[in-house]
């Protein structure tokens, strides 16, 4: 693969299958006969995959057409989506802004209308964040709901295959074809709790949007939200060290990604135990709140998406995941929906549901987009 500095989102285009829905997949998912390179020069000569990832095979068997593989933040270990080797996608709706990471290309090809939906992966917000940056829907199902067989890295306690779409009806079709049941359209939205956790301006926009839909959410708190974000960072650091440290010997991993992989070697057993304790406590807090209201609502991003220039230092934007990463730790399904703009940048609402209630989030987005005023 030759270096590509700007991209429409694809690293490789081809056509597999026939069907009424077109989709693309992040280049961490195996496609039979094609390399899986995860946006990393160290994997440039990876052998071709012998078979499709399970989710890809399922979609091809359900009347969907695959159009290619999409670029990403190198090794899916970053939040900006900037990748000078496999391509940094232009954000189709907000060209000055980052496309978001790590599933940057999968978000971009949906936002541009090149496909009906796409697949990404979400370990710490890597579907919901690029969806929020590009102004589309991004759905992270509950942990383990969609198979990770044939997905890089092979082992993760946080990562989920997720789905991007511009339209809630298409999202319903995609999830149904992936075997996730979605009930009939809702006549009314269930009660929800709202977690004020973003900037005052963003939270005000979200609450105003909900009010316009006739929703008066209960104000609530998740005391361990910030601790859960940090625990998620600890676990991904450790797990990515285990998965990717052998690649460092090639000296072909970019310096910033390599440094973060190396940092995982220093995660102690005590730090891992503490992170797992926080996982248990935070999961219980989310479950308790969802026992009171079937939905939780909060901002997807605590701040507005940065421009490419503002995001030049990858470490300066890692806290953009502090409202999405906690639900990777807890394993709850979560979805993002763009509801407005502020200073020319998108503002997105995140909804969270109980485990096993993935379909409710699709129904909720259908209801909200169906009522939203133009």
Q: Is the dihedral of CA 58, 25, 175, 113 positive or negative?
A: negative
The residue ranges of DSSP E strands in 168-289, in sequence order, are 192-194, 218-219
Provide the residue ranges of all domains of the chain, joining segments of one domain with +: 10-371
Q: Could you tell me the two tokens for 369?
A: 């987009």
Give the mean pLDDT of 224-242: 98
Q: What is the pLDDT of residues 93-129, one digit of tens each?
A: 999 999 999 999 999 999 999 999 999 999 999 999 9
Is the full-model pTM beyond 0.85? yes
Establish whether the linkage from the previous residue to 153 is cis, with ω within 30° of 0. Answer: yes
Q: Which residue has the higher pLDDT, 374 or 85?
A: 85
The count of other CB atoms within 10 Å of the CB of residue 65 is: 17
**Average pLDDT over the chain, rounded to whole?**
96
- Rounded distance, CA 307 to CA 79, Å? 13
- Residue 151 scores a pLDDT above 70: yes
**What pLDDT, on a 0 to 100 scale, did the predictor assign at position 315?**
66
**What pLDDT, on a 0 to 100 scale, did the predictor assign at position 320?**
95
> What fold, for 10-371?
Amidase signature (AS) enzymes (3.90.1300)
- Rounded distance, CA 264 to CA 290, Å? 33
Contact 130, 106 (CB under 8 A): yes
- Rounded distance, CA 205 to CA 341, Å? 9
**What pLDDT, on a 0 to 100 scale, did the predictor assign at position 374?**
43
Q: What is the pLDDT of residues 2-35, one digit of tens each?
A: 555 578 999 999 999 999 999 999 999 999 999 9
Residue 372: pLDDT band with limits 50, 70, 90: low
The count of other CB atoms within 10 Å of the CB of residue 256 is: 15
Q: Could you tell me the two tokens for 327?
A: 């639900």
């Amino acid at each position: 693969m030759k270096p590509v500095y700007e991209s429409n989102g694809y690293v490789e285009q081809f056509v597999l299958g026939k069907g009424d829905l077109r989709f693309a997949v992040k280049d961490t998912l195996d496609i039979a006969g094609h390399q899986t390179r995860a946006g990393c020069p160290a994997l440039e000569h990876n052998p071709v995959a012998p078979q499709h990832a399970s989710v890809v095979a399922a979609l091809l068997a359900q009347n969907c057409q695959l159009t290619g593989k999409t670029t990403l933040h190198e090794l899916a270990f970053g939040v900006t989506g900037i990748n000078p080797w496999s391509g940094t996608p232009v954000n189709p709706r907000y060209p000055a802004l980052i496309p978001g990471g790590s599933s940057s290309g999968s978000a971009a090809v949906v936002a541009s209308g090149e496909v009906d939906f796409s697949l990404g992966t979400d370990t710490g917000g890597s579907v919901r964040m690029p969806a929020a940056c590009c102004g589309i829907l991004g759905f992270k199902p509950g942990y383990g709901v969609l198979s990770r067989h044939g997905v890089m890295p092979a082992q993760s306690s946080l990562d989920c295959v997720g789905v991007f779409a511009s339209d809630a009806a298409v999202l319903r079709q995609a999830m149904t074809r992936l075997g996730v049941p979605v009930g009939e359209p809702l006549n009314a939205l269930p009660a929800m709790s709202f977690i004020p956790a973003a900037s005052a301006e963003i939270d005000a926009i979200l609450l105003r949007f909900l009010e316009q839909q006739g929703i008066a959410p209960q104000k609530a708190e998740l005391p361990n939200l910030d601790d859960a974000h940090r625990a998620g960072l600890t676990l991904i650091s450790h797990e990515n060290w285990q998965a990717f440290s052998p690649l460092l010997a090639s000296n072909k991993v970019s310096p910033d990604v390599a440094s973060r992989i190396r940092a995982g070697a220093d995660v102690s057993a005590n730090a891992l135990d503490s992170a797992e304790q926080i996982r248990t406590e935070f999961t219980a807090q989310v479950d308790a709140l969802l026992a009171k209201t079937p939905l939780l609502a909060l901002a997807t991003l605590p701040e507005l998406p940065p421009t490419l220039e503002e995001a030049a230092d990858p470490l300066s934007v890692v806290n953009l995941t502090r409202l999405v990463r906690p639900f990777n730790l807890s394993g709850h399904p979560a979805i993002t929906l763009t509801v407005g703009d502020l200073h020319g940048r998108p503002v997105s609402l995140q909804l969270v549901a109980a485990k096993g209630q993935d379909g409710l989030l699709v129904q909720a987005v259908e209801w909200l987009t169906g009522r939203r005023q133009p």
